[in-house]
Structure 1
Amino acid sequence: MFLRGKVNLLAALLLLALPIFALPAGAAAAALSGRVVVIDPGHGGNDPGGVNPELGLHEKYVNLAVARRLQRMLMDAGAMALLTHNDTETAELSAGGLKLPYFSLRRRAALANAAAADAFISIHTNCFPNPRRRGAEVFYHPGSAKGALLAAAIREQLAGIAGGEGCTCRAASYYVLNQTAMPAVLVELGYLTCASEAARLLDTAYQERLARAIFLGISRYFQAEAAPALANGGLRPRHKAQLAIVIDDFAGATKNGTRAFFALGKPLTFAVMPNFPDSASIAQRAVRQGYQVLVHLPMEPFRGKASHLGPGTIYVHLSDAEIEQRVHRAIASVPGAVGINNHMGSRATSDARVMRAVLRAVKAHGMFFLDSRTTDRSVACDVAAELGVPCGKRDYFLDNVNNIGYIKEQLREAARLAQKRGSAVAIGHVGTTGANTARAIREMIPELEAQGIEFVYLSNIIFQQQRSMTGER
């Protein structure tokens, strides 16, 4: 993918500026949908990176915080976004305490190459002896024209939030840029050694702005890549029928199908049971491998075995305060989750008071809610609309009959609904039906994609529906 020779940055910037503003709204989504982006949070594990001793601030924490935000944004836009690491997800307890892992640069580059990524983004924070040195910087491989285009697009967006310091962009021969076989950039977010900039880098709102700027740069790069074909009529943004598949019941025990679901490699959404010893590790593994994660919140049913609910269940007799606290604890136990769906819960989702308490907590975390529709009496999305919480509904259960032929036919039904309506949401499960459900999905992927079905994260559908309801574009 690399083009050797001198890169003309001015030409790169002009190319980025020409057609992007005229592209239709659907082109941006089409440009990111299905793309694979590997995000490398610089340093991590037992390597803290740069350190600001006065603030006790380690670079690796800023890098990872921005990387996780960027991953969420890319996933919400339909890209498969993979982290090279999640810092402590492989930490081990030893006699001397917590033993942090080491993430080699070779491993990071190898992950991106094995994933056949469309872009590689390495995120760092700078240090320098002069405390007045500040500002973001973007680097690309000196022999990569596409890398220069990607760097220029990101630089332009970062320059808009740099508080007057601007943002430089230049070639550099860093290891991860040399060893990755796709357009790659290394972004230095700012300087920890500058007191005012270090304070900004600690601000979560500023971290969100940095992630948004990098996201917009990546988006514009892919739009520019598609622009010549659009201008010649060779590529038109297609509004594919979208299918989101949610797999419920991860964590709590070793369950059939878990390994097979993780191997599918499509934009699936995994709902993880909270408050179990392995809840966090399952969620972190899913996020690291590019799957979207929900909290699969146990809620009281009209009927069903109490043993199937799990810890921290939302019961209708609980006070509002206790319900909200249980939701907060559940979210804390599933790191990386972007939304919540109900596990069982027919009684709880039918109770408006209970759902208001649940959804207040959901809103406080900036999450969305998926009504699994375990009862026709559910008021979840009605209450969500009152509170301004994005909410979607399940259309099909895939595996309420544990038979591969049945599951495949449910997938076809979901696909037909998606083609008719534009999108559909289907739920399957690990556990008793897990092996058959994973196999059915794997075998049906070529058939459904040949029909124009696009597999997407649940958030893509929920937020598109939200924009449609509010008239946003």
Structure 2
Amino acid sequence: MNRRTFLVKSGGLLLGSLLGSGIPVSAEVCIPQAAAKPRIALIIDDIGFNLNRARRFLEADIPITFSVLPRLCWSEESALALHAKGHEIMLHQPMEPFSTAVDPGPGAIFVDDRPERIQHVVAENIARLPNVVGVNNHMGSKYTQRPQKMGQALDEVRSRGLFFVDSLTTGHSAAYACARKMGMSAIRRDLFLDNRRDVLSILGQLRRLRQLAVRYGSAIGIGHPRPATAEAIMRFRESPEGRNAAFVYISQLL
């Protein structure tokens, strides 16, 4: 019997005696487990305008969930190309914002739409994108505040077995609560990464995101296909904070 085996068995016998049984306790119980790394899920929204910008994020060599806008020139090809590299694909469903000066883009749904149109548009958007596993909202500061309208949109998402991520484009969003009430797999983002578009600011947001992940076990950040965002993610991954985090797909947090 070598020294390590002797120590493990002796420790088990001692613990068993203390518990009053005299039976050795499994050594696995006595060996402490390493603390799990905080988990970070990154979503890159607004895919579909330019495939080359999306491809820059592949250089980070970490799991990234890409959310693709429907009915754009590069929507389908982007979904196929990014999924072929092993990444997770979501539909970035356009929804009505409060500002009438902002166009949510093709495939959008509006609060004045009839339920039949909402369901048809969402269903067609999902059908047009290959390999979709979930949906999050694009814009929607007006639409996501309406539980009834969210229910009409989410009914199509649920019927296809997809999950939903509330992008929280407004603090008054009812989207997440509505999805949970419907029994869906759903989650909310924690931070937008690139409201300020310089690398140092985005790095600061990534560090904040990791702090949230340390506190709560996981955190979700949403960014956009911009060169500064890709550069910041690659720098963060190589930093001590990034090396001590586990990057995961959004579905792994549900």
TM-score range, shorter chain: 0.7 to 0.9
Contact 2:60/2:237 (<8 A) preserved: no
Q: Is the 8 A contact 2:51 2:78 kept in 1?
A: no
CA distance in structure 2 between the aligned counterparts of 1:234 and 1:442, rounded to whole angstroms? 35
Q: Which residue of 2 aligns with 1:10?
A: none
1:271 to 62, 67, 70: 67
| 1:277 CA displacement | 3.4
| In structure 1, C-alpha distance between the alignment counterparts of 2:100 and 2:188, rounded to whole Å | 21
Q: Secondary structure at the match of 1:263?
A: helix
Matches within 5 A, 1:290-439: 290-303=86-99, 305-307=101-103, 309-430=104-225, 434-439=226-231
Structure 1 counterpart of 2:242, one-letter code: E
Tell me, in whole angstroms, the C-alpha distance in 1 between the residues paired with 2:138 and 2:51. Answer: 16
- CA distance in 1: counterparts of 2:29 and 2:61, whole angstroms: 33
Separation in 2, partners of 1:338, 1:292: 7
Contact 1:268 1:292 in 2 (8 A): yes
Aligned length: 227
TM-score by length of 1: 0.46
Q: Percent identity?
A: 36
Q: Which amino acid aligns with 1:239?
A: A
| Alpha-carbon distance in 1 for matches of 2:173, 2:89 | 23
Structure 1: unaligned runs, 5 residues or longer: 1-229, 464-473
With over 3 angstroms needed to count, the CA separation of the structure-2 counterparts of 1:256 and 1:289, relative to structure 1, is closer
Aligned partners of 1:256 and 1:435 also within 8 Å: no
Query: Alpha-carbon deviation of 1:258?
Result: 2.1
Give the 5 Å matches for 1:44-443: 236=33, 238-251=35-48, 253-254=49-50, 257-303=53-99, 305-307=101-103, 309-430=104-225, 434-443=226-235
| CA RMSD in angstroms, aligned pairs only | 1.9
Shift of 1:232: 11
Deviation at 1:276, TM superposition (A): 2.1
Which residue does 2:242 correspond to in 1? 449
Counterpart-to-counterpart distance in 2, 1:445 and 1:277? 31
Deviation at 1:231, TM superposition (A): 5.7
CA contact (8 A) 1:271 1:296 kept: yes
Partners of 1:266 and 1:233 in 2: CA distance:
34
Letter in 1 for 2:109: I
TM-score (norm 2): 0.84
Paired with 1:294 and 1:374, the residues of 2 have a C-alpha distance of 17
Checking the alignment, whether the CA contact within 8 Å between 2:135 and 2:162 is kept in structure 1 is: yes
Gaps of 5+ in 2: 1-26
* Alignment CA distance shift 1:234-1:277 (3 Å): farther
Q: CA deviation at 1:310?
A: 1.5
Distance 1:352 1:232, change over 3 A: closer
Alignment of 1:23-62 (within 5 A): none
